[in-house]
Chain A
């Protein structure tokens, strides 16, 4: 079992219960980006040793997706938040 990741709904749980979708990326906006802009977005990553904003889903728990800021050097989670824009209620 690995580090505990706090789920906004279920509280801290072992990371094995989650699916990780990696660092938050920015999808190229506008009509048709260049191949370079597209491939930068699809393949290239900052892969920082430091605080990374990333997507997680509590797969084995409530099932919800959320965002976490985690220090990849220590696995410490500094904050979690619900996705923006929040799903309309």
Chain B
């Protein structure tokens, strides 16, 4: 409480870059910052610097859906995100920074019996792993979210939902700032406006990182750059199984509390939640073509608006206020690419698609462990880049098609 009166810097003003760091982290988003924090906190490795080409949290960390959940389809994915949610639940206290984790539950609506089967499949995996997740019918949906149009008026009537009570939304910027502050206080250096322009490679190792502010030698290098992952890996001469796409979202003008739970519809390709500020946060799918250009599209706004009103016709006169886009790094199986690469001291957090933010703390914990010990934690072993070379994928992508 006393903190609210005292004006204290969240993090130190960045100084000059040193000539060498034990660990150089490329990307000052939630993953890079979390990794740095856990390196320092759990492993005592503090000779760490974070290189961020813009301001911290300027990429996907500050542009995502803010949705946190663990109800994934694969046992590998669900177990991983389960740990992430558990960490998020304790994170405000651990970082002494209120991340405003609003855990009011998460509903994935089904509008077809195929949608119901997909929900059921996730619920079954989740339950076995101890994740609260169940398929519910319209009556229970009405209790949880009476505002939803559960009649048969909508073009896509709601048949049921996958209900995930621990799901919710969080203040995404706060996560970035909380990790940054904590990492900084443990001695990690954060260097915003420092872009990596080259990776010096000597055989199986990266020896140094070139930046717009000079060259730094590195014991180990971690890349956590989401949509830009292919470009950073490219500096080390590596190709990745990733394509970069834009994801768009918007908020409306703030209104009084209307919606507690997070609503997602797979079939309508839209999600909606209401922030603590009162804005509705609405988004849809990624754009199907690859691009690094972050301008939004009108068709996205039109499509999302149309589909939100299918769910909540009451909102037709609520006004769209602000739109934005972010870059997503999409992997072929919708599972992340996390951990070691073929370059001995170059580690990767990439391929998150639209799921990255949900994983920030557990990425930090596991990557820090990998960097500190050289051993891949069991939890992330299935997500190694190598799986694309051995062709053993982890499909978060239930085939959308259903036939006959």
Contact = CB atoms under 8 A, between A and B. Distances in A.
B231 A49 contact: yes
B240 interface: yes
B293 A39 contact: no
Given A44-B240, A45-B230, A45-B239, A74 B293 contact: yes
Interface string B279-316: 00000000111111100011100000000000000000
B98 to A, nearest CB: 37
B290 A14 contact: no
Contact of B297 (A1, A35, A36, A73): A1
Interface residues of B, number: 24
A20 B239 contact: no
A75 B291 contact: yes
B156 interface: no
A69 interface: no
B289 A20 contact: yes
Interface in A31-77: 35-36, 38-40, 42-49, 52, 54, 72-75
Given A49-B292, A72-B293, A75-B293, A43 B241 contact: yes
Max count, chain B CB within 10 A of own CB: residue among A22, A23, A40, A44: A44
A30 B232 CA distance: 32
Nearest to A74: B293
B296 to A, nearest CB: 9
B389 A36 contact: yes
B48 interface: no
A45 B388 contact: no
A22 B291 CA distance: 11
B166 to A, nearest CB: 33
A44 B239 contact: yes
A45 B244 CA distance: 10
B230 A35 contact: no
Nearest to A47: B230
Contacts of A74: 293
Contact of B230 (A36, A38, A40, A46): A46
Interface string B315-351: 0000000000000000010000000000000000000
Contacts of A54: 289-290
A16 B288 CA distance: 9
A26 interface: no
A47 B243 contact: yes
Contact of B240 (A38, A42, A45): A45
A12 to B, nearest CB: 16
Contacts of B389: 35-36, 39-40
B403 interface: no
A73 B294 CA distance: 9
Given A15-B289, A35-B390, A72-B292, A40 B297 contact: no
B290 A39 contact: no
Contacts of A14: 299
B152 interface: no
Contacts of A39: 388-391
B242 interface: yes
A22 B243 contact: yes
A43 B388 contact: yes
A48 B290 CA distance: 9
A64 B269 CA distance: 27
B293 A35 contact: no
A46 B239 contact: yes
Given A14-B299, A36-B389, A44-B239, A72 B291 contact: yes
Given A39-B389, A72-B244, 10 more contacts: A1-B299, A2-B287, A14-B299, A15-B289, A20-B288, A35-B390, A39-B388, A47-B244, A47-B290, A72-B291
5 contacts: A39-B389, A43-B332, A47-B231, A49-B244, A54-B290
Interface of B: 228, 230-231, 239-244, 287-293, 297-299, 332, 388-391
